[in-house]
Amino acid sequence: MAEIPANSPESRRARGRPRDWHDKTAQNTIKSLDRALEVLETLSDMGSATLSELAQTAGESPATVYRVLVTMEGRGMVEFSPAEQLWNIGPRAFLIGSKFLRRTNLVERARPILRRLMEATGETANLGIERGGQVLFLSQIETHASIRAFFPPGTLSPMHSSGIGKALMAQLDADRLSEIIIEHGQQRFTSFTLTDRAALDADLKATRARGYSIDAEERNEGMKCVAAPVFDANGEPVAGISVSGPASRIPDDKITGFGNEVARAAAELSRAIGADR
């Protein structure tokens, strides 16, 4: 039998994963760890919670959830506020999450482009990607204006009511688009939300034609967003860039100007990560 070189891909995989790495059955799952991570994710979704609130939402007993929390508190993953009797996500969770953002140079390359976009438009500039059929915000450069949009890194948003979400949806094939809509639906958030599939399809068609999407108060009343897709070296849509702010500062007669600025920024980031466009 031929010997596998020490630095070959096969050898690296062997050191990184056991031979049965593809087996996701119960024998390879640590149930207590899985339960702890579920509690952590639930707390993250809730923002902050009492022990009883968290236990009820997570579907676990207070005693079990308390043991999980105390263990994670020792690692800095969660923290407890005695005055309010509330549990919150801790600083260690943020540090671990931030390493995900540094794993790729997408965020690093985007920062100066987002800053220039914010300065050109006077509104908050955002970077997001699609994760599990939702928009995951990765980075943001806030405007200096007192009233502004705010999407902290790690925020998840439905795609059908998001500027970045619609910019990416407009680039998907019909099957993937249908999968996302079937899984997540088209929830109504405001009177402007596109809850009808035909209306959404028409909006995505217009997005492709002009090169940028428009969120016209579809997620939050009084807030608008203009976004464009970012492509990688293979021509695949991997992210979106947007500017967002109060509708009073992004009136209809300024949408085209905002759209052109966002499209230029998205094209610049696409080139920075290897796209030929």
Digit-coded pLDDT (tens) for 218-244 = 999 999 999 999 998 889 999 999 999
Burial class of residue 268, CB neighbours in 10 A (0-12, 13-18, 19+): middle
Cα separation of 239 and 228, whole Å? 9
User: Residue 145: its pLDDT value, please?
Assistant: 82
pLDDT for res 28? 61
- Tens of pLDDT, residue by residue over 112-143, are 999 999 999 999 999 999 999 999 999 999 99
Average pLDDT on 246-251 reads 94
CA dist., res. 201 & res. 159, Å (int) = 13
Cα–Cα separations (whole angstroms), residue 97 to 89, 94, 102, 187 = 12, 5, 9, 28
* Nearest CA-CA partner of 111 in 272, 261, 249: 272
Question: Are the C-beta atoms of residues 267 and 232 closer than 8 Å to each other?
Answer: no
Task: Tell me the CATH class for 104-272.
Answer: alpha beta
What's the pLDDT score for residue 24? 52
Assign a CATH topology to domain 9-94.
Answer: Arc Repressor Mutant, subunit A (1.10.10)
Question: Closest by alpha carbon to 258, among 235, 276, 241, 275?
Answer: 241
pLDDT of residue 150: 74
Going from N- to C-terminal start, the domains of the chain cover: 9-94, 104-272
Q: What is the 3-state secondary structure (H, E, C) of 234-272?
A: CCCEEEEEEEEEEHHHCCHHHHHHHHHHHHHHHHHHHHH
